[in-house]
Amino acid sequence: MGKTTLARSLAAGVDGPVTTFDLEDPTDLARFADPKLVLEPLEGLVVIDEVQHSRDLFRLLRVLVDRPDNRATFLVLGSADPGLLRQSSESLAGRIAYHALDPFRLDETGTAPELVDRLWLRGGFPRSFLASDEADSVAWRAAFVTTFLTRDLGQLGVTVPATTMRRFWTMVAHCHGNRWNAAELGRSLGVSAPTANRYLDALVDALVVRRLTPWFENVRKRQVKAPKVYLADTGLLHSLLDIDSERELLGHPRCGASWEGFAIHEAVRILDAAWDRCHYWATHTGAEIDLFTVRGGERIGVEAKRTSAPAMTRSLHTALTDLRLDRAFVLIPGEARFRLHERVEAVGLARACAEGLA
């Protein structure tokens, strides 16, 4: 479900009064010409959807929640506008909690083989994943990309023409799972490297692209310093790559990279790790591990391989030594689980979702 549907579901279970505003509704937006007059007398749960249309609201919310006799709780929904998030954190420091609504993951859709394949192909946006057939899913994602580029990015303060940003986003899709090279993409797009970095920042801030930073440590080998980029949803990745079916996906040159990104996103969730505390690691001699994080003092590495017969590689041996890994996992399709080394397990993605990485 989307954020609005989720908010309605939560409101339905609340005891007491619930008041809902949708600031994309012209009537509600007009009422917020004087928001204090509207909000001050309310009690119970107050839901304000699409809050980005009333950017000055957070200062008023601070005043309202600080009232000694305040009886209202505010559930505020909106876009991932970095300026808006910054304003809310400044105005409501210590009074606000944030929750990012990610696309569906395997723990929500189920781990039956057909559901895993559907989530990988269609991505986790509810209307794409739940579409009655592939054609409807493809059409919904195409419409989403167009709306996101022509409307949503503008609301986030991005002034780049939609045509330019579509070309750029498509180029990023072709780099999915690879190291970021701003100069190379900038040349292809006809812009400077700093401009390409600014465009990437806009997509990262909008939560449609993930940037995985490299891990640096005082080891003897020269390490790669460029981040990796992943589209946050494989369904959108496949739309931008013009992949409309499982058959096309399995025969596409980016199939392995697509599955790697799918598995890495699941691994971050399974490990209950924050993205800003996850990294990849690579050296200029070719050693690399797809995901590295420290959890509870334990150093954990994850590799994603679309194969049924993984094996210990030189990279894994190097990572075990240089990163001093306590444990490492090789995520593969299916439900198998077996040991490759005393500190390395191969685990099917569905099995990892059900049992965890422990």
Q: What are phi and psi of 28, to 5 degrees?
A: -65, -40
Residue 194 has pLDDT above 80, yes or no: yes
Report which of residues 27 and 12 the model is more confident about. Answer: 27
Say what percent of the chain tops pLDDT 90: 66
- For residue 253, pLDDT beyond 70: yes
Closest by CA to 322, choosing from 358, 289, 276, is 289
Can you tell me the mean pLDDT for 114-140?
Answer: 97
Q: In the structure, what pLDDT confidence band is assigned to residue 151 with cuts at 50, 70 and 90?
A: confident
Q: Which two tokens stand for residue 18?
A: 């619930």
**For residue 271, what pLDDT is reported?**
95
Judged by average pLDDT, the poorest of 177-191, 226-240, 276-290, 317-331 is 276-290
State the pairing for strand pair 278-282/327-332.
unpaired
Could you give the count of Cα atoms lying within 13 Å of 341 in the half-sphere of its Cβ?
18
Asked if residues 173 and 240 have their Cβ atoms less than 8 Å apart, the reply is yes
Q: Which two tokens stand for residue 266?
A: 């699941």
Is the model's pLDDT at 247 over the cut of 60?
Answer: yes
pLDDT in tens, 33-82: 889 999 999 999 999 988 877 767 888 888 888 889 888 988 888 765 55
Hey, which residues does 339 pair with through a beta bridge? 345
79 token code pair: 């876009």
User: Cβ-count burial of 211 within 10 angstroms (0-12 exposed, 13-18 middle, 19+ buried)?
Assistant: middle
From the number of C-beta atoms within 10 Å of its C-beta (0-12, 13-18, 19+), residue 338 rates as exposed
Contacts with 329 (C-beta within 8 Å, 6 or more apart), sequence order: 267, 300, 301, 302, 303, 344, 345, 346, 347, 352, 357
Q: Above 70 in pLDDT, residue 1?
A: no
Helices 57-65/82-91 angle, 10° precision:
30
**Sign of the CA dihedral running 119, 122, 125, 126:** negative
Task: For residues 152 and 142, give the distance between their C-alpha atoms in angstroms, rounded to a whole number.
Answer: 14
The 8-class DSSP code of residue 97 comes to -
Phi, psi of 283 (to 5 degrees): -115, 165
Task: Report the chain's C-alpha Rg in angstroms.
Answer: 22
Cα–Cα distances in angstroms (integers) from residue 172 to residues 144, 166, 167, 184, in the given order: 17, 10, 9, 11
Q: What is the average pLDDT across 216-230?
A: 76
